[in-house]
Structure 1
Amino acid sequence: MSQFAEYAICLLLLTGGAFTLIGAIGLARLPDFYTRLHGPTKATTVGVGAIMLSSVIYFSSRDGSIGISEILVTVFLFMTA
């Protein structure tokens, strides 16, 4: 695996974890039902999307082929959110 792929994976995992943490804090801190529903949904969608993108990069660089299952999970995640 190349060093660039490792840095990209680390950056995406940290970004995804940060967005997911922000979404969880927003769920606990926001005042009413609709803001609790809207705020964390957007943040955690971006967070999980970044984590799934890092998974795509990892398995693509390890096996040498594109991981179609991770791409499909990411597409369905963004479609349903």
Structure 2
Amino acid sequence: MIKDIIILLLTLSSLFFFMVGTVGLIRLPDVFSRMHATTKSDTLGAGLGLLALIVYKGLDPVSLKLMLILVFIFITNPVAAHIIAKAAYHKKMRNQKEDDHGTV
């Protein structure tokens, strides 16, 4: 019973952070703001979702694999965002705004 409540809370928290990242991607004006919103919230959302799966499986070899995936996501997501931000900075995409059609 308590395990189910913990899994439910972790899953709902995960979905909330994914939703926040999606809203940030749609609403924010430039590349850097969008990337910041999606990177932070999607990393946390994926972490909470994987943590819910780890709690669901219990002590199992699958849980170890899920923990390794979690560590991999926590390392690669910020690094990938940093590399994309650096490329956007060098491409002079600092002050670009969307036009009427939603494209840069």
How high is the TM-score relative to the length of structure 2? 0.69
**Structure-2 residue corresponding to 1:25:** 23
Task: Find the partner of 2:66 among 61, 66, 70.
Answer: 70
Backbone CA RMSD of aligned residues = 1.1
Q: Which has the higher helix share?
A: 1
Task: Count residues in correspondence.
Answer: 76
- The runs of at least 4 aligned residues of structure 1 exceeding 3 Å deviation read none
Cα distance per residue 1:2-28 (max 9 Å; x no partner): x11111000000000000000001000
**Structure-1 residue corresponding to 2:3:** 5
Bigger Rg, which one: 2
Identity %: 34
Deviation at 1:65, TM superposition (A): 3.0
CA distance in 2, matches of 1:74, 1:4: 23
